Amino acid sequence: MALSREQVAMRVAQELQDGYYVNLGIGIPTLVANYVPDHIEVMLQSENGLLGMGQYPTKAELDADMINAGKETVTAAKGAAIFNSADSFAMIRGGHVDLTVLGAFEVDQNGSIASWMIPKKLIKGMGGAMDLVAGAKNIIVTMTHASKHGDSKLLESCSLPLTGVNCVKKIVTDLAVLEVRDGAFHLLERAPGVSVDEIISKTAGKLLVDGEIPEMVF
């Protein structure tokens, strides 16, 4: 079975390390805040100017003025800091973000990513994605493995306008965990109940499978 959005976020949360400064993009990445392991401390950064983002608020905690970059209400963790977006982007561009987690329309086998626009479709703007993929030390992408029409999103070369070139290190899809290196996707894990053959059939780019591929563990 393909993973739910929450399960994808849970798997990404396993990539967090103690002391990390992490930016979470709009969509599935924001859910990662709910699954940070109890034994580590990370500081979650939102590019609109919040360092120390907490979990989504309960009804009692809800504050309409406390929002993330996706305009969703959030909470502030202990030790959080609030600042203007110029300082936020100085942090990003200065290389002070250890990990960025963001969604994408396409990723290719060289780690290039297309995430900000589809031609002829209305967009609000590119946001901070280009700064994030250029400035963060590590990039993890969350996405569905294929489109709703069954077309692969893991390609030999991206067809949409690029957000960043040769920058993505790892991808967590609803079917698999893959690492990008040496011009290929390397299959690391598969979703419970998903076969390697299904992943191969839905990956258009070069995919390397080495030995037995374990199922993800949550």
User: 215 forms bridges with which residues in the sheet?
Assistant: 190
Helix, coil or strand: residue 78: strand
Tell me the HSE value of 153 on the side-chain side, using a 13 A CA sphere. Answer: 24
Q: Which of 73, 104, 118 is nearest to 8 (CA)?
A: 104
Residues labelled catalytic: 47
Q: Which of 178, 171, 166 is nearest to 111 (CA)?
A: 166
Q: Which residue has the tokens 């299959």?
A: 187
Cα 136 to chain center, whole Å?
Answer: 12
**Per-domain residue ranges of the chain:** 5-209
The Cα–Cα gap between 159 and 149 comes to: 16
List per-residue pLDDT tens for the chain, 218 residues long.
899 999 999 999 999 999 999 999 888 998 998 899 999 999 999 988 999 998 889 999 999 999 988 788 999 998 999 999 899 999 999 999 999 999 999 999 999 999 987 776 766 666 788 999 999 999 999 999 999 999 999 999 999 999 999 999 999 999 999 999 999 999 999 999 999 999 999 999 999 999 999 999 99
* 0.85 surpassed by pTM: yes
The Cα–Cα gap between 88 and 170 comes to: 24
Please report the pLDDT score of residue 26 as a whole number.
84
Pairing mode, strands 21-24 and 207-208: unpaired
The Cα–Cα gap between 209 and 212 comes to: 8
The Cα–Cα gap between 123 and 27 comes to: 15
Residues whose CB falls within 8 Å of the CB of residue 53, separated by 6 or more in sequence, listed in order: 24, 33, 44, 45, 46, 68, 74, 75, 76, 77, 80
Domain 5-209 -> CATH class? alpha beta
Query: How many residues make up the chain in this entry?
Result: 218
- Strand ranges across the sheet with 139-143: 76-82, 50-53, 43-46, 21-24, 99-103, 139-143, 170-173, 176-181, 184-190, 207-208
DSSP at 168: -
